[in-house]
Structure 1
C-alpha cells in the first residue's frame, strides 16, 4: 500500500495481523534466469495460516517445452501442511523451498531440494530497497505488496547437471486476502539491463492494449514510480501467446521508458482459476539489452474462449 516501508518484521509471517479470514495469504516469490541457455526459473511459496497449508514449489524451463508437464522441472503443490515452529525468515518447507534471511529486506539464501531431480542453492542480493505497491487498481488490489530487483548468484543442479546462475532477478513479497476466484486479465512485466537500470510494469487489460496500473522505472540507480504507460503485444495466431511486446511509460518525474521485447522461452502455469503464460524476455531497453519476464495472466475461461475462437478461423 502507498507510503509503506519494508521493515525487518516483514521478512516474517504476519499471521496475527491477518485475523481469522480463510483467505488470509502470505507469498514469497523469487525469479532467476540464464539467458544463454534461454532458461528461466521460479521459487514460489503461498501460505494460508488459518487453514494450515502451504502451496507452491519450483519451476525451471527453457525453449524445449512450454507445458509444465514437459518442462525441465515443475512442482506445484496445492495444500501441504504448514510446519509449526518455523517462520518465513528461516524455513525449509515441505514444498522443497528453503528461505533464510541473511540481511533483512535485502539479502536472502534461497534453496530447493528434490533429490536426483533439482537442487537450488542461490543468494538473492537486493540492488534496491523493496518497492511498495502504490496503486490499489492493480491486480494486487489493496494487499501489502513489495517488489525488489536483486543480483542472483549460485548454482542449480538439474537432472545431474550443475548450472551457474548470475543474473538480475526479481522477488516479490505479499500478504493479505487472496481468494482463488479473484483473477482478471493482467500482466506483470520486468526487465533489467543491470543493477541500476530496469523496470517493473503491472498492467490491466483494455480492448486494444494494456494500461500500466503500477510499476517503477529504475535508471542511474534511482527508482521512481510509473505514472502512466501502455503494454502492446503481438500474439501467435495459433497458440495465442505473446510473440512481441512494446512497453512505453513515464514515471512521476517525467522520465520516459521505451522497451521492446521478444520471448526466448516460456512456460504455462495453471494457478487455480487462472493461467500464467510466463515468458523469459530479451529486451531492447532504452538502447541497452535487458532480460526479464512477461507474466501474461488470464482467467482460465477467458483463455479457453479465445482459444476456441482461434480454432474456428
Structure 2
C-alpha cells in the first residue's frame, strides 16, 4: 500500500541546515491520509540518502522505564535499520541500558509495512489494524528472554508538519513487557513519529543541540515542539552559534487540547545540563499556539541514555516528566548533538578549540 507520490516534498534540506530551512512555525499543519501510515516514494532527488522513518515506544514512569522502537528505511538502497532499546534511570552509554538490539543492515520490506516482520534475525512485528488509529507491535528475543506486545491507539489525529512529509501523533499504549523473566504492565502514553520523502544525509553539522520534544498528560492534552534553545536565555553555546536567533529557534510544533490540534507559533526554551556541559537534566519551555494561548512548561529528566543514531550524531533520549497547565505529562525530550558542539562544550574533554 505504498504512497506513490501524494504529498511528496520536493526540497532536500536537512534538519541541520538552519539557514536553508523553511520557516514553518505557526503555519497550518498538513493533513494526513490513511495511506500515510505506509511506505512512500523516496525523495524526488533519487539520492541514496532518501529516508523514511517510523518511531514507536512505551514508558512506565513509576519505574523510570522507557522503551524505544525505531525503523529507518532506505528505499533507494533497498535496505533498512531497526532498533529496540529498553532502559531505566540514567545511563552513561547506550550499551549500559538493560536491553539494546540494533541492526544497521536489514532487507527492505517487499510487501509494505501493513503486516510486517522486520527480519529473520530480529523478530519485530507490526500490524496496522486501522491506519492512523490502531497499530499492534510485538517483539521476541528468546535467547535473551525479552519480549513485549503493545497496542497503540490514537488519542488525536496525526499532526502533519507544515509542508508535509512528516507527522507526530500521541498514542495510548497498553500491553505487557517481559524483561528477563519479570513482567511489567504497560498502560500509558507515547508520541510516535513518521517521516518520509526527504534525503537524510549523515553529514556532521556545525550547530547547537536541537530538541525534539513531546509530552502527553491524558486523552485530552498533548504537545510537541522541535527547535533550539532561546539565545536570550543564555545557553552555554549562544556566542558560538550566532545563526540561532530568537526568531528561528522553533522548527514546528502543536498543542492538542480537548480534541483540537493547533500549531505552535512561538517557542522559548532553555535546556539545563549536567556539569559535563552536554547531558540534559531539565527544561524550561514556553509555547504560544495559534490561538494565542501561552503554555509554561517545565520538564525533569527521569530516564536518559545517549544513542549515536549514526556515527556523526549523538542523541540523548530522555523520558521527561512535564508540568503544564496543572497537569503532569510524560514524553521524550531528544537532544540532537553533533561533533562540533560536543568537542567544544563537553567539559570532560581535555582538548579545546
Q: TM-score, normalised by structure 1?
A: 0.90
Match of 2:158 among 106, 127, 130: 130
Match of 2:183 among 162, 166, 171: 162
Contact 2:275 2:347 in 1 (8 A): no
Aligned to 2:104: 78
Alignment of 1:260-299 (within 5 A): 260-272=298-310, 273-299=312-338
Question: In terms of mean alpha carbon deviation, does 233-242 or 159-168 score higher?
Answer: 233-242
Structure-2 separation of matches of 1:18 and 1:155: 40
Q: Structure 2 unaligned segments of length 5 or more: list them.
A: 1-8, 10-27, 236-245
- What SS does structure 2 have at the residue aligned with 1:69? helix
Alignment root-mean-square deviation, CA? 2.2
- What SS does structure 1 have at the residue aligned with 2:94? coil
Contact 1:268 1:276 in 2 (8 A): yes
Contact 1:57 1:97 in 2 (8 A): no
Aligned to 2:115: 90
Question: In terms of mean alpha carbon deviation, does 13-22 or 167-176 score higher?
Answer: 13-22
Structure-2 separation of matches of 1:81 and 1:91: 12
Aligned to 1:138: none
Contact 2:42 2:75 in 1 (8 A): no
Match of 1:29 among 52, 55, 68: 55
Q: Deviations over 1:42-77 (max 9, x none)?
A: 111011121111102111111163411110111222
Aligned to 2:132: 105
Q: Structure 1 unaligned segments of length 5 or more: list them.
A: 135-141
Aligned to 2:343: 304
Q: Which structure has the highest strand share of the two? A: 1
Match of 1:153 among 153, 156, 174: 174
Structure-2 separation of matches of 1:269 and 1:125: 27
Structure-1 separation of matches of 2:273 and 2:90: 19
Structure-2 separation of matches of 1:164 and 1:66: 26
Contact 2:276 2:348 in 1 (8 A): no
Highest RCO, 1 vs 2 (Cα 8 Å, sep ≥ 6): 2
CA displacement at 1:113 relative to structure 2: 2.2
CA displacement at 1:239 relative to structure 2: 5.7
CA displacement at 1:309 relative to structure 2: 6.6
Alignment of 1:110-121 (within 5 A): 110-117=137-144, 118-121=146-149
Contact 1:43 1:97 in 2 (8 A): no
Contact 1:116 1:159 in 2 (8 A): no
Would you identify which runs of 4 or more consecutive aligned residues in structure 1 move more than 6 Å? none
Question: In terms of mean alpha carbon deviation, does 35-44 or 294-303 score higher?
Answer: 294-303
Question: In terms of mean alpha carbon deviation, does 197-206 or 120-129 score higher?
Answer: 197-206
Q: Deviations over 1:100-142 (max 9, x none)?
A: 11111111001222224321210110001110112xxxxxxx6
Structure-2 separation of matches of 1:79 and 1:92: 15
Q: TM-score, normalised by structure 2?
A: 0.80
